[in-house]
Structure 1
């Protein structure tokens, strides 16, 4: 069988679950990884921007410092000019025009927006821009001392909200005779230079005393710079002068840093450096898109791999499930062609081995179910199949079919004397002889079968009654010749019954039953072969009716448990009770035990009845124990009970369910029941004895048992049959038998019980002989089990026992009829 490679996806299938699990894990891992990377990119980008802005602030200050150095150098050249110093020193009106011209010319050379001269008296005496001089006078005058001490000073001033870089240089000859002041605008040129150096958007802005911002110069352009100022104005008043913040200008997010570069008369000048976040993470975004693409590709590839993997795992399992379903239906054909070296391959190989093993075992089971292992002949089930097939075929062709059924004579005796192995060999020889005789007479269509035990059957298709009788006689003649086995000559015969279709019955079971009835009739009459007749079935129908009623009696709870107390003769104490059964038939009334007990023993129903008595006795013992009344309940066992090898197990189950110890029961067995099959009986009795159950020999003295054999039995009690007890006070012979039996029992270490005590005189006589216990109508007739507790409360012994106070004699009841097995 080759596996189908087609893929079918079912949501609840193992394949779909494997794929779903793999995909979920892959997607989860990829998404988590992508989110972590995205957060890392964002974090790294912001950290890089922050560092870039911080460095940009340093670069901008360095640019301002460089500009200041350049301006100071230009101002120093003018301050060292001899003619300019001389003109200042003369301080004449004619030199004033020279000074102003020098200031203007030198200012143009170094691109100063304004130049001015401050006299030694700290007054501005010359200027190239009156407005700037007026606006910067306070700042300039405050810088003179620093400039004199440091040979120059520089600062930031604001005029009309525009920032200027101011340089003050002293003029010495050799003492300070004045100061040269030059101003340079902080404008777009500086901002663009900053952007060229750092790639940062640079905005120079001033803030007046009212908190209003004015963008002086910006590389962003006027609209964007205005938007930046509005967001700065919206910041909380407590925001630090220097610090980073984020702004969204237009459609672009910026990370910005404001840095204060100077103050003048309550106005401050700041530079705002900004970096576009979107531009900063643009490279990362491309990397992120690549990563997203790789993630999707990985998911798709993983999905394909997981589907293939799931197919490799689930499809073989599905195929193996199909194999299992075929095995379930009994189809063991076809090899499992599966070439894999992994665990699934091992499982497929195991399935193949299991299929072969099951096929072989089923073949063996079928052989055991339909063939007799001892003779290798068809058994009853197989014979019945062949018989029904032959009847169906004969019905089509309007032909007839006959069945011969035989039961060997004296086989049980041979089995008991020579042993089971000898009996098995004998059955094999009988089977071979029957087959040989049919082959010699060329009855090729006849089929021989062993139905069980020593019963054989022969199927005769397409035969009439005359042919069936002829063949039956030939087979009986074959069995008349003695068999030689293990140097022993065995003389054996058989009783044979004949029944046929359509003469007697319409189906196989019916024919077998009729042939069996005829066979037992033949054995009873010693008539060899007997053809079935309807008259043979009357007794069978009555028996069948009684068996059906017995079964219904159990189901309908028609049986009643009665008990007869057992008394210690020496003390008068009740120590036990014998369990008896009564049948309250709904139509016939009370049915006596001797009317159904023998039949129950013959049919095997006695096992069901014994089980019922055991169960009810256990219930009674449990109820009495709950009241503090510990009595040993005696239950009778029949021959078939002793042949039941599961009897000890059944008793153990009853004791466990009712929480009773083995000492609560005594099992009574008749001598005849033991002697029917002493070996099996002893095995069963030994197992019961090992459980702790007391065993009693019932009706002792009435059988023909061997005392040498009985002494080996694990019994505890000997029960004298009532036939010796009833009249022992008048019959010296019975008295001697009872006395001898009591002495025999005590010598064997057994407890002795006498049954059938019906008078006080017999009680006293038994007590003097040393009998241990007794039961009979004198003490109590059998009573319903539910009345035993009340009887025990009212019971009084008939005589004063040694050591006891005298009590009134108990009036003995009138004698009544006595029952049979399971009854007194």
Structure 2
């Protein structure tokens, strides 16, 4: 299972509060950013608008100065005295008039030139010999001629940007031109800045001297003096300029003028422009913080209102987990979703409680009769044994006889009615307490008997007498009987399960013996824990070739020659060693695995049969067949095919059958024996005299020999009755044309007596024990040598 993130271990209420607050802060942050972006955009737009206004203000000032210069120059040019002085060429008068006029209108310089633009007089005497002034006049003349008489002319004069106007002087014909210049000073830059609220910077460069800067503030003047790129005088630029720690939105216009370059910058600080919104931001932040606090309190209250009922539901869940289904669920009266959840949970609790009671009842009670079931009865017995309240107790197990027949004939509904009637009878007879009686399986009941009551045998007899009375159900008179087993603690068993099992074993023993009541005895148990895994081990033994063929010799009593042998199976277990036949052959017969053992034996014998032959006489090998072999329709074909594969004649194999094997299904067994006889097999009746109706079937069976049971051979020397039985059996066989083989020959006296009675073959430990095939061949040669038969 994937580990949860660490934050998922935080309580739901805390997570709800944190997530909600984080979401609110995130939304407020986005809102703050949007407002700030909008304000910044607004500030920039406002600055751009202010810069545009400042540009118009500047242009207006330039135009005003230009008009003022034009008016002053025209006034001077039209003055009669000035025109007379120009006509008389009185240089002093002209210079005086120029100086007075320039002073009157605030012009920085006034110049008179003739019609060929030759310098005639200036407002300042020291300017007459200046070569720069001559060059300036020539450039002014060229610019006026190029741009027209109304053109605005700007030039760098004495390092300062100056506006110039040119007005003709006529008396009455053109006699010259008055040139007036108005220097752009710092106070004009400051005035433009004050009028528009924008910082203005005017920079000039004549290409020879250093840059001159006139700014509306000292910090901007210092900045431009320290770092002024040359392009500021050549291009129109719009960008953000960093000055110290402030950002200025800047627009710069550059132009080339007479004598150099000019740049005019309009600038506004973003920080200064945004100060009007600082208080708004502070208020917004304060409101946001107050809102967060209020929201946190509200969310905490709401979270507690939602999660508190959930916590109570969690506590109720813990109580349910511990098995307390009566716990009170709070919040069911609320009309919101939490109330709906609480009501649903309370309904689930009630449903689980009802289901638990139903399941408990089904788990510990029989649905048909209402009696306790096997689990409940076992728990009752176990509690009594473990509590030490009693020193002994008994269990009676009752099983109805012929109940399956009733179900088959009358149907299962009638069977159910019989079971309910049986439970009623048992409850009314020595079982007044219901917890002492239980229905443990289909038609099986168990009764608990305590030491304070009658003896188990008397109670069992009383129950049996009650059950033997006919039952009338749906106008049908039903006559049933019962088989009863009794087991007691601590005599028959030490533990609860063993006690109940012992009573069932006794009940099955009573059913097998057709007795009514039987008390448990240890000899009833025929199986052992080891036998539970025996079948799988036997299968493995066949697969892994752990089985061995042993041969016990059969000798002719006439000439002592070994003429046949009985094949017996042995198991060479890899861990347990050689396992005796009585430990696995009966189990194989019970489970049906004996058929596989028989097939293995026949295949193994067929593969070794050729090695057992001597001379021209066929050496026979006998194989024991079980009931299941005779009842298998494919067995004769299997034997015939196996012998054919190994080229073994059917006369070389003798098949031995017990009388009891024939009696299980006489008709089918007779058919199988007839088929085997027709195939040429020699047939023998094993253990003759111990079965049922021997003589009645003997006359119809196609057998070739009889084997006298060893129980009669053992006692024939000491007991004349046994000798008479052996003699009679031999005579009977001979009269029927059969040969006789005696088994269990333990002494020479038995051997000689059988020879005297006319028994053809003898088999037993006196002659030889069962031995492996290789040892048998060696033993046979030695036997023949000892009796002069080599």
TM superposition score normalised by structure 1: 0.61
Report the alpha carbon displacement of residue 36 of structure 1 after superposing the two structures with TM: 5.8
Identify the residue that residue 775 of structure 2 maps to in structure 1: none
Identify the residue that residue 522 of structure 2 maps to in structure 1: 537
Identify the residue that residue 220 of structure 1 maps to in structure 2: 217
Identify the residue that residue 690 of structure 2 maps to in structure 1: none
d(CA) in 2 for partners of 1:704 and 1:522? 27
Is the aligned partner of 1:488 residue 2:476?
A: yes
Report the alpha carbon displacement of residue 67 of structure 1 after superposing the two structures with TM: 0.7
Relative to structure 1, the CA distance from residue 556 to residue 722 in structure 2 (aligned partners, 3 Å threshold; closer, same or farther) is: closer
Identify the residue that residue 627 of structure 1 maps to in structure 2: none
Is the aligned partner of 1:512 residue 2:500?
A: yes
Identify the residue that residue 83 of structure 1 maps to in structure 2: 81
d(CA) in 2 for partners of 1:33 and 1:23? 15
The counterpart of 2:103, out of the listed 83, 86, 108, is 108
Is the aligned partner of 1:405 residue 2:397?
A: yes
Is the aligned partner of 1:461 residue 2:459?
A: no
Higher mean Cα deviation, 320-329 or 201-210? 320-329
d(CA) in 1 for partners of 2:538 and 2:327? 53
d(CA) in 1 for partners of 2:339 and 2:627? 59
d(CA) in 1 for partners of 2:296 and 2:208? 65
The counterpart of 1:203, out of the listed 181, 201, 204, is 201
d(CA) in 1 for partners of 2:304 and 2:627? 66
The counterpart of 2:153, out of the listed 142, 145, 155, is 155
Q: Is the 8 A contact 1:144 1:179 kept in 2?
A: no
Report the alpha carbon displacement of residue 445 of structure 1 after superposing the two structures with TM: 8.3
Q: Is the 8 A contact 1:410 1:492 kept in 2?
A: yes
Relative to structure 1, the CA distance from residue 446 to residue 327 in structure 2 (aligned partners, 3 Å threshold; closer, same or farther) is: closer
Identify the residue that residue 588 of structure 1 maps to in structure 2: 579
Report the alpha carbon displacement of residue 252 of structure 1 after superposing the two structures with TM: 3.4
Q: Which runs of 5+ in 1 are unaligned?
A: 1-7, 564-580, 617-635, 639-665, 670-698, 706-717, 732-755, 759-824
Identify the residue that residue 252 of structure 1 maps to in structure 2: 246
Secondary structure of 2:429's counterpart equals helix
Report the alpha carbon displacement of residue 451 of structure 1 after superposing the two structures with TM: 2.0
Relative to structure 1, the CA distance from residue 520 to residue 594 in structure 2 (aligned partners, 3 Å threshold; closer, same or farther) is: same
Q: Is the 8 A contact 1:203 1:271 kept in 2?
A: yes
Secondary structure of 1:438's counterpart equals coil
Is the aligned partner of 1:551 residue 2:533?
A: yes
Relative to structure 1, the CA distance from residue 757 to residue 302 in structure 2 (aligned partners, 3 Å threshold; closer, same or farther) is: farther
Identify the residue that residue 122 of structure 2 maps to in structure 1: 127
Count of residue pairs the alignment pairs up = 594
The counterpart of 2:438, out of the listed 429, 442, 449, is 449
The counterpart of 1:370, out of the listed 338, 344, 364, is 364
Q: Is the 8 A contact 1:49 1:275 kept in 2?
A: yes
Q: Is the 8 A contact 2:535 2:588 kept in 1?
A: no
Relative to structure 1, the CA distance from residue 187 to residue 447 in structure 2 (aligned partners, 3 Å threshold; closer, same or farther) is: same
d(CA) in 2 for partners of 1:35 and 1:122? 65
Structure possessing the higher relative contact order (Cα contacts under 8 Å, 6 or more residues apart): 1
Q: For residues 172-225 of structure 1, give each alpha carbon's deviation from its aligned partner in whole angstroms, at most 9, with x where no partner exists.
A: 22211232232322112211221122212223332131472112x33213x641
Report the alpha carbon displacement of residue 227 of structure 1 after superposing the two structures with TM: 2.5
Q: Is the 8 A contact 2:510 2:518 kept in 1?
A: yes
d(CA) in 2 for partners of 1:504 and 1:318? 56
d(CA) in 1 for partners of 2:460 and 2:412? 28
Relative to structure 1, the CA distance from residue 146 to residue 175 in structure 2 (aligned partners, 3 Å threshold; closer, same or farther) is: farther
Report the alpha carbon displacement of residue 55 of structure 1 after superposing the two structures with TM: 4.9
Secondary structure of 2:485's counterpart equals strand
Relative to structure 1, the CA distance from residue 112 to residue 437 in structure 2 (aligned partners, 3 Å threshold; closer, same or farther) is: same
Secondary structure of 1:437's counterpart equals coil
Relative to structure 1, the CA distance from residue 269 to residue 379 in structure 2 (aligned partners, 3 Å threshold; closer, same or farther) is: closer
Is the aligned partner of 1:479 residue 2:471?
A: no
d(CA) in 2 for partners of 1:405 and 1:33? 85
Relative to structure 1, the CA distance from residue 599 to residue 315 in structure 2 (aligned partners, 3 Å threshold; closer, same or farther) is: farther
Identify the residue that residue 183 of structure 1 maps to in structure 2: 181
Report the alpha carbon displacement of residue 123 of structure 1 after superposing the two structures with TM: 3.8
d(CA) in 1 for partners of 2:367 and 2:210? 117
Relative to structure 1, the CA distance from residue 273 to residue 131 in structure 2 (aligned partners, 3 Å threshold; closer, same or farther) is: farther
Report the alpha carbon displacement of residue 68 of structure 1 after superposing the two structures with TM: 0.5
d(CA) in 2 for partners of 1:261 and 1:239? 6
Identify the residue that residue 274 of structure 2 maps to in structure 1: 281
Q: Is the 8 A contact 2:51 2:251 kept in 1?
A: yes
d(CA) in 1 for partners of 2:300 and 2:77? 89
Map residues 737-776 of structure 1 onto 2, 5 A cutoff.
Answer: none
Q: For residues 718-771 of structure 1, give each alpha carbon's deviation from its aligned partner in whole angstroms, at most 9, with x where no partner exists.
A: 99941232335899xxxxxxxxxxxxxxxxxxxxxxxx999xxxxxxxxxxxxx
Q: Which runs of 5+ in 2 are unaligned?
A: 1-5, 546-568, 601-625, 636-660, 682-701, 705-790
Secondary structure of 1:106's counterpart equals helix
Map residues 766-805 of structure 1 onto 2, 5 A cutoff.
Answer: none
d(CA) in 1 for partners of 2:322 and 2:47? 76
Q: Is the 8 A contact 1:583 1:591 kept in 2?
A: no
d(CA) in 2 for partners of 1:229 and 1:43? 30
Report the alpha carbon displacement of residue 86 of structure 1 after superposing the two structures with TM: 3.2
Identify the residue that residue 413 of structure 2 maps to in structure 1: 421
Identify the residue that residue 672 of structure 2 maps to in structure 1: 722
d(CA) in 1 for partners of 2:679 and 2:220? 143
d(CA) in 1 for partners of 2:365 and 2:101? 136
Q: Which structure is larger by alpha-carbon Rg, 1 or 2?
A: 2
Higher mean Cα deviation, 375-384 or 430-439? 430-439
d(CA) in 2 for partners of 1:497 and 1:380? 16
Is the aligned partner of 1:379 residue 2:376?
A: no
Q: Is the 8 A contact 1:476 1:494 kept in 2?
A: yes
d(CA) in 1 for partners of 2:634 and 2:206? 128
**Cα RMSD, aligned residues only:** 4.7
d(CA) in 2 for partners of 1:420 and 1:122? 145
Secondary structure of 1:70's counterpart equals helix
d(CA) in 1 for partners of 2:100 and 2:391? 152
Q: For residues 552-595 of structure 1, give each alpha carbon's deviation from its aligned partner in whole angstroms, at most 9, with x where no partner exists.
A: 442685453699xxxxxxxxxxxxxxxxx997765425679861
Secondary structure of 1:726's counterpart equals helix
Identify the residue that residue 359 of structure 1 maps to in structure 2: 353
Secondary structure of 1:374's counterpart equals coil
Q: For residues 283-323 of structure 1, give each alpha carbon's deviation from its aligned partner in whole angstroms, at most 9, with x where no partner exists.
A: 45555555656666677677777777777787777766666
Identify the residue that residue 709 of structure 1 maps to in structure 2: none
